Amino acid sequence: MSTPDIACEAVPAPKQSGLSRIGLIVPSSNTTMETELPELFRRQTEATGHKYTFHSARAGMKNVNKEELLAMVGKAADCAAAVSDADVDAIAYACLVAVMAQGTNAHVGSEATIAQAAEDNGHPAAVTSSAGALVRTLQEMGVEKVAMVTPYMKPLTQMVREYIEGAGITVLDAVSLEVADNLAVGCLDPQNLPEIARNLKRDGADAIVLSACVQMPSLPAVQAVEDELGLPVITAATATAYEILKSLGHAPAITGAGSLLSGAGVKVPAQI
């Protein structure tokens, strides 16, 4: 008795009109980026009708320390090749501090490595990283001075501070919540962020980075803090979403996530 032929899909399904595929490379313990980004793009879909799907590859990392972060960096190319199998339109390397731990402007090399891996796999895609997206977005906004919140231990926060300042942006204040376990970072309550933001030293600040980490939940607080303090508020996640939309040629139209993604344009307050 012959066995009937079984058709197996050897290539990704053809892309549909009105649909974009987004690839994510995330730490294995990340629980936030795969919730905040889809929510942001759900709001984009609600406004524009264009749909987005998300496809992730995970690189091992449990604790936010320099050793594990650097080990994760070595897995980025393999993750990029794996996620590009889904023939994604854009890839986001969603671990800000893993890139920043390599030194100023490390996002340039990281993004090039990921782009090359996807191209070598036969599925080239636009590439951004949360580290690159954060500094480029601040620069595009014309921001010269920021205050920021991080979940990291103080030495890592200092490293992030130096990275941002290496991009020509002064960090007036940087709060460290000092949470080392990455799963615990993902359990932090974003409703605590408005109070933390109120206590930042922000005199002269052009913007607030409410979460300099893609794992620290912040989306529910972004609009509230921006409305209360009268400063543009961005996060590693909103900056990443912004760059993904730009790479796809889509104008931001996302409500309730700060002026950056609203489509209205960001106004940096003039300093007296």
Nearest to 117 by CA among 64, 70, 57: 57
Q: Residue 256 pLDDT > 90, yes or no?
A: yes
Assess whether 95 carries a catalytic annotation: yes
Q: Percentage of residues in the chain with pLDDT exceeding 90?
A: 73
8 falls in which pLDDT band (50, 70, 90)? very low
Assess whether 213 carries a catalytic annotation: yes
d(CA 99, CA 27): 12
pLDDT in tens, 15-59: 678 999 999 999 888 889 999 999 999 999 999 999 999 999 988
The b-or-e profile of 187-200 (16+ CB within 10 A means b, else e) is: ebebeebbeebeeb
Domains of the chain as residue ranges with CATH: 19-131+241-248 (3.40.50.12500), 133-235 (3.40.50.12500)
Q: Is 168 exposed, middle or buried (0-12, 13-18, 19+ CB in 10 A)?
A: exposed
Residues within the annotated binding site?
Answer: 30, 95-97, 152, 182, 214-215
Residues within the annotated binding site for substrate?
Answer: 30, 95-97, 152, 182, 214-215
Give ∠ CA 12-123-92 in degrees, rounded to 5.
100
Specify the pLDDT at position 95: 84
Q: What is the side-by-side order of every strand in the sheet holding 90-93?
A: 51-59, 19-27, 90-93, 126-129
Q: What is the mean pLDDT of residues 77-102?
A: 91
205 falls in which pLDDT band (50, 70, 90)? very high
Nearest to 95 by CA among 154, 34, 144, 39: 34
